[in-house]
Amino acid sequence: MKFESCFIRHADTRLFLPWNGTRLALVLTTMTALLLSVGCAKQYGDTKPADVDYYTCTMHPSVKSQDPKAKCPICSMDLVPVKKKDAAASAAAAEAVDYYTCTMHPSVKKQNPKDKCPICSMDLTPVKKKTEPAKETAAPEGAHDHAKMLAEHAAHDAASSSPPGEFTVATERQQLIGVTYAKVEPKTLVLPLRVVGMVTYDKRRHWDYVTRVDGYVEKLSVASKGELVEKDQPLVTIYSPDLLTTQREFIDLLRLRDRLSESSAEASRDSAGRLIEAAKRRLRLWNITDRQIEELERSRKPQETLTLYSPFRGVVQDIGVDQGRRVMNGDHLVDLADLSVVWVWAEFYQEELPLLKTNLAVAVSTSAYPGEKFAGKLAVIDPFINEAKRTVRARLEVENPDLKLRPDLYVDVDVTIEMGDGLTVPVRAVLPTGRHNIVFVEKGEGRLEPRFVELGRKFGDDYQVKEGLKEGERVVASANFLIDAEAKVQGALRSW
């Protein structure tokens, strides 16, 4: 291609230069070289060096990126390079590490060094292996080494059941984390139990009056339920024609007996006596008392009405009739309850069932009368367990002379059971792990020994010690979890 000329303006001066193919090729070559140099510089400028593992933020080490020009997404600072570790040294260090754990939660064990603590999300720290296992002849690939599997199971069981070893926590560090000690000592084992219960009336001290003759309620001597009645107080008066007829028959038999008493026929007198006793039994079945029968026998005057009296001092529980109403045989009249002694049905957990026995003393209290206790005793233990609540009911008999305890009242039942003397350790000193109960025994000069103990029942703030501790030994009573973390890190506890 032929170019005639190129027009160039410079300082308002027009200059015409010749433009040929050689000059054009030179310009194109120069421009291509510049573009390639810029592209290469950009390409190599964005590439991570070979000795750099990743880029991170000095303020936020959790940020990791492979882009050298990336910014921290949290604080927008430039990322700094982290050099790669020597491969051989990394492999040796990885082989020397047993597992990775969290310094705040030693129960966390991972094999991946990049894992986080699932509880607090902190970086895990390596725990070195104590001893190198002896190398064994490897089984052929794909073969099942049954002996090796049994050996591994036996080693795991031995590690789980073997006693833990001692470890050391400096006295200054113990003071910083707030370690205190308690002494293992014998005490009188007193087990306090507190359960809930409900008051009900004593069924043996409850009386339901029903009509035993047809008639009419002539007079109602009690007005409403809840009314306090004394012994022998009139309750209700009933007019009954049948009762009047029976009384007249009884009086006729009395007169017959009087006439036969002058006769010499002994058989006739015995027959009259049997008839009179039968008439008395009939009157008693109609709720006529012996005193009323004696009065009828003395006066020989039949009464047109029958008055029912209270057999004890109690409370009217229900009134089933009104004054003037006609009643028939079996109709409900008045219910009375003697509340001088009440029942309390208390519920105990099935674990407490072996501790219960009849005539066990109890104390009953209620929020209705703060500070007041009602003495009682355990009378009956229900042989059936509530399948929903897993509780067993016990019937208590409680003295209630002032009638303060009312039916259906909720109460608290306190039972104190003495179980002799025994060796005890504070509850706060025991670290339960699910498989074992562990205490940390002081050995002096900052040395502590984790020890498995066998415990009995809990008595208030103490456990009964059956095995594992001796009288007079001192155990850690506070900061147990921090001490346990130290024991885990130092490898004193090989298993939970």
H or E element, residue 273: helix 266-285
| Domain containing residue 441: CATH number | 2.40.420.20
Return the bridge partners of 378, or none: 396
CA 398/CA 364 separation, integer angstroms:
8
C-alpha distance from residue 332 to each of 101, 206, 320, 329 (Å): 78, 14, 6, 9
33 domain-assigned: yes
Please say whether the beta carbons of 175 and 291 come within 8 A: no
Q: Are residues 318 and 438 in the same domain?
A: no
Q: Is 427 exposed, middle or buried (0-12, 13-18, 19+ CB in 10 A)?
A: middle
Range of the domain at 456: 167-189+420-490
Instruction: Give residue 138's pLDDT.
Output: 46
52-56: strand order across its sheet: 64-65, 52-56, 80-83
* Last residue of one domain, picked from the residues 300, 316, 337: 337
Q: Are residues 120 and 30 in the same domain?
A: no
* Last residue of one domain, picked from the residues 337, 354, 379: 337
Instruction: Give me the tens of pLDDT residue by residue for the chain, a chain 496 residues long.
Output: 444 444 334 434 443 444 455 566 665 666 655 554 444 444 444 677 877 888 898 888 888 888 888 898 988 888 888 887 665 555 566 677 888 898 888 888 888 888 888 888 888 888 888 754 444 444 444 445 555 555 555 555 544 444 567 888 888 888 888 888 999 999 989 888 999 999 999 999 988 888 888 889 999 999 888 899 999 899 999 988 888 888 888 888 888 888 877 766 777 777 888 888 888 888 888 778 888 888 888 888 888 888 888 888 999 999 989 888 999 988 889 999 999 999 999 999 988 888 899 999 999 999 999 999 999 999 999 999 998 999 999 999 999 999 999 999 999 999 998 888 899 999 999 988 888 899 999 888 888 888 899 998 888 889 999 998 999 999 999 887 888 777 777 765 554 4
370 domain-assigned: no
* Last residue of one domain, picked from the residues 337, 352, 381: 337
12 domain-assigned: yes
Q: Are residues 114 and 171 in the same domain?
A: no
Q: Where on the phi/psi map is residue 434: left (φ > 0), alpha (ψ -120 to 50), or beta? A: left
Instruction: Give residue 40's pLDDT.
Output: 43
| Domain containing residue 289: CATH number | 2.40.50.100
Q: Are residues 114 and 229 in the same domain?
A: no
Tracing tokens 């190129």 back to the chain, one arrives at 6
Q: Are residues 216 and 125 in the same domain?
A: no
At residue 247's C-alpha, the angle toward residues 243 and 248, to 5°, is 120
C-alpha distance from residue 487 to each of 197, 391, 451, 454 (Å): 47, 41, 12, 20
Q: Are residues 23 and 77 in the same domain?
A: no
For the record, the structure tokens of 97 come out as 């590490």
Q: What residues contact residue 446 under an 8 Å CB cut-off, 6+ apart? A: 168, 169, 170, 171, 174
Q: Are residues 307 and 427 in the same domain?
A: no
Q: Are residues 278 and 178 in the same domain?
A: no
Tracing tokens 């006609």 back to the chain, one arrives at 326
Q: Are residues 308 and 184 in the same domain?
A: no
400 domain-assigned: no
Instruction: Specify the DSSP class assigned to residue 351.
Output: G
76 domain-assigned: yes
314-319: strand order across its sheet: 206-210, 332-337, 314-319, 228-229
58 domain-assigned: yes
342 domain-assigned: no
250 domain-assigned: yes
Q: How many domains does the chain have?
A: 5
Q: Which is it for the CA torsion 353, 355, 358, 362, positive or negative?
A: negative
Q: Are residues 313 and 246 in the same domain?
A: yes
Where would I find the beta strands (DSSP E) of 401-493?
Answer: 410-426, 431-432, 437-444, 447-459, 462-467, 474-476
- Backbone phi, then psi, for 277, in 5-degree steps? -65, -40
Q: Are residues 436 and 471 in the same domain?
A: yes
For the record, the structure tokens of 277 come out as 């006793």
**DSSP letters along 182-196, please?**
EE-EEEEEEEEEEEE
Q: What residues contact residue 388 under an 8 Å CB cut-off, 6+ apart? A: none
Return the bridge partners of 169, or none: none
Q: Are residues 436 and 455 in the same domain?
A: yes
